[in-house]
Structure 1
Amino acid sequence: MTQTDGSTATQGGFDYEHASGLYVGGWGSNVDFGDGTSYELDLYAGFSGAIEDIGYDVGYIYYSYPDAPESIDFGEIYGELSYSIASIGVAYTANSDVSGEGLFVQGDIYYYASVDVPLEDDFSTGVLIGYYDFTDDSKASVGDASYGHAAVNVTKDAGNFGAFSVNLEYADIDSSNALGSVNSDDPKFWLGWTKSF
């Protein structure tokens, strides 16, 4: 799925994590919804840790679009459990400024499962499969909207230079979907870089 009408997106974020497991962060990206909205700014906070071999991560994320013609901001409560190389997670839309029936309203749920496999020479590869279940899906005012997606990546840990990743994602959204547009179901390719300080 694209939020830039098929154009290139530049995205970035910063996280701060305390030794206790508490963390806060922010993420931003340019967007183009065709209505003058030009950027997205997300803020989040959570707590992560482990109980024996089971890792966990719980938190809240607020998605905002400050220059949208009318407020479409919404917030999600999320949780994830992990064991060894596998993780499962869910995010629930807890609040939304979208009025009436629509997308990204209270009650929407996103599910996912992922596997990250370490390889030789500081490489790793990951696979994620997810599904977005919109509570107003198939209603006359919304149309078909719920969709599945998949992602694969290869990451190289470059030590002091951070980690570099090559990513490929696909969303099952064609032009008839409420979120769809021409070529919206084309696979999307992107490059990533993360660095811890």
Structure 2
Amino acid sequence: MTAPRIATLALSALTLGMLQTASAESPHSFSANIGAVSNYMWRGVSQTQDGPAVQGGLDYSHASGFYAGTWASNIDLNNEGASQEVIIPLDPATGLPATDANGNWIGYTGGSSNPNSPTYELDLYTGFGGKINDDLKWDLNAIYYAYPDGRDSNFAEIGGKLTYKWLTAGLAYTVYGENDEGLYDNGDLYYFGALDFSLPYEFAFNVHGGYYSFTNSNGDSYGNWGATVSRAIGDYGTVSFNYDQNGGNDSVYETDPIFWAGWKKTF
């Protein structure tokens, strides 16, 4: 091997090493995730009327602790069910469906064709987190829950949590809501806590609970609790088996135990 060839190989190796070092030291990180669940449960309430959902998101994080991302899922919030009768009177002046001052159709009584009920959720979030020591971590965040094809449904929260070893506690405060004098409006608070443990054979176990305090309650505030067993299965993502239950007014919420399964893969 000639000296120029040796020098070229050495320079190439040095350049490659420098590129790998620069890449490894990049403070930026990007990831994507996709998943599927047999029931989209959120804070003890099904968002799909006990039906399945396909979900996914994109995330960015910085070495400083800053992060931001977006996440989406199909939903079905028609608690009345699809068998109810739909009555939509026509405006005699225009021949079109009659609407109120806010543009909502008048006379709707229930059913899956409700034009004001969203069919998907799109979340936007950002936050900043770090650790005080190896055992104590903190996180501050803000999230905007958007329902683009719904009406008067969007709301936003700010929140925070502390994690000490296997114990997490936090709260979320609603700072903006379009559902005036209803649920998910300004001033709502959700308190939550969780315990996370490692199990043999690379299984993980989580127990969690929370309490939702609505400003405009009318008896709708509730507590919820549940548990999850999960396991990573290599390149195939993570599978989970879950239990959730709602302790609220049984005339408002489904209070029977709910068991559901989930799968998620991060790229």
TM-score when scaled to structure 2? 0.64
Q: Of residues 82, 85, 89 in structure 1, which corresponds to 2:166? A: 85
Distance of 1:49 and 1:82 partners within structure 2:
10
Q: Which residue of 1 aligns with 2:259?
A: 189
Distance of 2:75 and 2:265 partners within structure 1:
24
Shift in CA distance, 16/186, structure 1 to aligned 2, threshold 3 Å: farther
Q: Of residues 109, 124, 145 in structure 2, which corresponds to 1:63? A: 145
Stretches of structure 1 lacking an aligned partner (at least 5 in a row): 138-142
**Following superposition of structure 1 onto structure 2, how do residues 82-161 of structure 1 map, counting pairs within 5 Å?**
82-99=163-180, 101-137=181-217, 143-161=218-236
**Following superposition of structure 1 onto structure 2, how do residues 156-167 of structure 1 map, counting pairs within 5 Å?**
156-167=231-242
Question: Over aligned residues, Cα RMSD in angstroms?
Answer: 1.8
- 1:26-72 deviations in whole A, cap 9, x for unaligned? 2222222333321111111111210113101111000011011x221
> Shift of the alpha carbon at 1:87?
0.4
Q: Alignment identity in percent?
A: 43
Q: Does 1:5 align with 2:49?
A: yes
Number of aligned residues: 185
Structure that is richer in helix per residue: 2
Q: Of residues 171, 176, 184 in structure 1, which corresponds to 2:246? A: 171
Would the aligned equivalents of 2:222 and 2:249 in 1 still touch at CA under 8 Å? no
Name the SS of the counterpart of 1:121 in structure 2: helix
Would the aligned equivalents of 1:122 and 1:158 in 2 still touch at CA under 8 Å? no
Would the aligned equivalents of 1:173 and 1:185 in 2 still touch at CA under 8 Å? yes
Distance of 2:63 and 2:234 partners within structure 1:
21
Q: 2:132 is matched by which residue type in structure 1?
A: I
Q: 1:65 is matched by which residue type in structure 2?
A: Y
> Shift of the alpha carbon at 1:174?
4.6
Stretches of structure 2 lacking an aligned partner (at least 5 in a row): 1-44, 79-113
Q: Which residue of 2 aligns with 1:17?
A: 61
